[in-house]
Chains A and B, each alone.
Chain A
């Protein structure tokens, strides 16, 4: 599971399944409860799903970069640098989630969306970004960098 290209494929599959669960099913539940001033619920859900899809793609790009970097032979000799890189990627994932939230807040400024709905959207964005990043890197990182993801040493 940690060898290329299986780890890439499984990471992609995890990201896709997670998008379906969060974007489609959880999204439908949000659609049932959210109150909007002028926008139709379907239009909001389209916006939400597209935003979630974009950050999924961005998240995948960082995951693939980590898998590529971890498989390089030179990485074995620079594990401290690898750890720093991992933290940077992890924080970047968090930034993606924040940017998605900010963009949605700006676009929905006149819709009267309540804070709890935004909190839920942010939670889903977090799951789709750095939680996804953490889980996939935890289980599918190349052997060289297997113990770098958070809690990897304790689990494995």
Chain B
């Protein structure tokens, strides 16, 4: 009886030792990334910022703009009235400053701003001679929303210079930009052309003869959109004539990664790291496998359309090899390839092929889906319609010189600061 009890106790003790031995194995430390999506969808404004806005309104006070001020009931004058109203509607508190600019910038009071509806406003010496938008660009600030009302360039050479300044002064400092085109009755002199300046008069009852002016908005995308939302209810503001040039193209996205049935060396693991993270085990001596990638996204409204078939992968990897004493930090990787991308509205499907070195360890990848450096965007139709390469009295008289080139160059300049990404996900492979 006693021997029996002793034997049973010995068995229990042995089992306990076995359990402890198996349970207390040495594990490799986990690989960590920054899993937030702020580099794809931006960050929210704090509550206090949402209720207050600092707004700077710059009015182009050069001679050509005088042509918009001849008719008190035209879209231009109504737009000027509406800017302040829209800001007061969109935010609880506003601090609005007014400026007139041309050759120089001059701060003006509200009562002088109200005189912008009359031709006399556009005759100040030292201002009316030349449209120098670059001087306004230098004034932009992320803490303020700036609205520049202008009919755009005086000379073709201005385009490249202004785009460069916007790139250095705005895009590189996260100040984003939007352009609203508004057509208005015009009766004045057009200067931004390759031909000598010419007189142009719209037909009152024919909107096709109206000449566009532009509200160029500089600031945080959320503030720009908020102001535009308040403006777009007006009949002279058309939603389709608005473009937001932002480094963020999507409001949200979701990825789903599953292995193909043929990839028998891969086993899916549950990831505890949150959405858009995936974990797999790869069997010993296997070199990789294939995945099916599904991406659904919400494109940020008013940003230019992009061609999903041109999307590219950018992959960075971190490795923690069993043989290596230290883990290998983040480096550009070619272990993953995108194959056969298909798109349908806001959904993208593709196969992803993985091939990695035959070394046991942990391989972790941060994968971006991004647009190419050149040519990924589609210029909106309204830009092409408003633009002309050579406006003259006989042809395209009311169109804006090289508007399409300007906006294309702006989009390109924005991409050159940081490649526009529409999704990000993480794959961790435990290679046995």
Contacts and interface: CB of A to CB of B under 8 A. Distances in A.
A17 interface: yes
A81 to B, nearest CB: 27
Contacts, number: 46
Nearest to B15: A17
B268 A39 contact: yes
B208 interface: no
A50 B8 CA distance: 28
Interface residues of A, number: 22
B4 interface: yes
Contacts of A37: 261
14 contacts: A1-B1, A1-B4, A13-B12, A17-B19, A21-B18, A21-B19, A32-B432, A35-B267, A36-B267, A37-B261, A38-B268, A41-B269, A42-B269, A112-B264
Contacts of A25: 19, 22-23
A13 B12 CA distance: 10
Given A1-B5, A34-B267, A35-B283, 4 more contacts: A21-B15, A35-B264, A35-B265, A38-B268
Chain B at the A interface: mostly helix, strand, loop or mixed? mixed
Interface of B: 1, 4-5, 8, 12, 15, 18-19, 22-23, 258, 261, 264-265, 267-270, 281, 283, 432
A152 interface: no
B92 to A, nearest CB: 48
Contact of A139 (B4, B23, B264, B268): B4
Contact of A40 (B5, B12, B265, B268): B268
Nearest to A43: B270
A40 B4 CA distance: 44
A139 B8 contact: yes
Interface of A: 1, 10, 13, 17, 20-21, 25, 31-43, 112, 139
B148 to A, nearest CB: 54
A41 B282 CA distance: 12
Nearest to A37: B261
Given A21-B18, A34-B267, A36-B268, A41 B5 contact: no
A116 to B, nearest CB: 13
Contacts of B5: 1
Contacts of A36: 267-268
B185 to A, nearest CB: 63
A8 to B, nearest CB: 14
B8 A10 contact: yes
B269 A40 contact: yes
